[in-house]
Amino acid sequence: MSAAAGGASVPLVVLAAGRAKRYGGCKPLAPVGPRGEAVIDLVASDALEAGFTSIVLVLGPSTGPAIRYHVEHTWPAEVDVRFALQPVPLGTVNAVLSASEHVGDAPYGVGNADDVYGLEACGQLATHLRAGGADNALVGYRLADAVIGYSPVTRGLCRVDAEGTLLGVDERRQVAATPAGGFVAGDGRQPSILSADDRVSMNLWGFTPAFHAMLRKAMEAAVDASEESEVLLPEVVAGSLGSASFKVLPARGRCIGVTHPGDLPLVQAELNRQVACGERPAALWGSPRRP
């Protein structure tokens, strides 16, 4: 039986070392909540309320000090938070491996610091990890639940078999909603019309210890890894599908992310709507679980 199945810690590794070139600021600290809460506050609070037992923040040297200061001065003292440093931006595989000492040999989740994944999706992933099976996991959102506003974004469309096993992720660029409620991809590929019900990856993963070992091997093999040649999680996952199994968990609820500066008021409005409708608690840190 795995550690998670036995009731031990189930950490969520939050990748917060990105440089956010398109946004032009520190996205994890963007004030999106009804009371000015930062993105990273909602990410962590949702995860703990949903069943994760600790948060591991992977920070970079540029924005890391500001994020750490914010966490240490605003998060409740009882929140189990660990800090890991990614000194050089060698990609998301390297970022995850930077947290190795904090995840041990148990299953763990991985998510972005600029996407509010929601309580239900976090709960689905935590439950999967606690089951202690051999399958890794990817939370797949409906495309309509993973786009806000009309600015184009990049989304990975999941190919899934009848048993819910991931067959691949096709990255589509310039994906945008239309005023009529549909979606189009302006990357010149077919199909150009996308379904609102297509499942997409928002990089909310669940990894087993066996896959963590595969990440180590992939990083060791990438002898030319650099800031210009990063080693990315989706690419390593794609290359592993012949030997590693990923279950796609169909997310319930929305994933709200900040990509462009113009997204900020849209994200704020959506989170306010969720609170007003009772879909989200008005206050953070409701009842975080501890190890």
pLDDT single digits (tens) 278-288 = 999 888 987 54
pLDDT per residue over 172-226, tens digit each?
999 999 988 899 999 999 999 999 999 999 999 999 999 999 999 999 999 888 8
For residues 238 and 258, the model is more confident at 238
pLDDT band at 5 (very low <50, low <70, confident <90, very high): very low
For residues 128 and 288, the model is more confident at 128
Average pLDDT, the chain: 91
Secondary structure, 3-state, the chain: CCCCCCCCCCEEEEEECCCCCCCCCCHHHCECCCCCCEHHHHHHHHHHHHCCCEEEEEECCCCHHHHHHHHHHHCCCCCCEEEEECCCCCCHHHHHHCCHHHHCCCCEEEEECCEECCHHHHHHHHHHHHHCCCCEEEEEEEHHHCCCCCCCEEEEEEEECCCCEEEEEEEEEEEEECCCCCEEECCCCCCCEECCCCEEEEEEEEECHHHHHHHHHHHHHCCCCCCCCCCCHHHHHHHHCCCCCEEEEECCCCCEECCCCCHHHHHHHHHHHHHHCCCCCCCCCCCCCCC
User: Strands 246-250 and 183-185: what pairing?
Assistant: unpaired
pLDDT per residue over 99-126, tens digit each?
999 998 999 999 999 999 999 999 999 9
Tokens (6 digits) for 231:
């080693």
pLDDT of the residue at 4 = 42
Distance of alpha carbon 95 from alpha carbon 57, whole angstroms: 10
CA angle, residues 109, 224, 201, in degrees to nearest 5: 30
pLDDT of the residue at 291 = 37
Residue 7 has pLDDT above 60, yes or no: no
Distance of alpha carbon 60 from alpha carbon 52, whole angstroms: 23
pLDDT of the residue at 1 = 29
**pTM of the predicted model over 0.85:** yes
Burial code (b: 16+ CB inside 10 Å, e: under 16) for 210-240 equals ebbebbeebbeebeebeeeebbbbbbbbbeb
pLDDT band at 25 (very low <50, low <70, confident <90, very high): confident
Distance of alpha carbon 43 from alpha carbon 54, whole angstroms: 12
Instruction: Give, in order, the Cα–Cα distances in Å from 161 to each of 164, 168, 237, 248.
Output: 5, 10, 16, 10
Domain 11-260+270-276 has CATH 3.90.550.10: yes
Pick left, alpha or beta for residue 203 (phi over 0 → left; psi -120 to 50 → alpha; otherwise beta).
left
pLDDT of the residue at 22 = 57
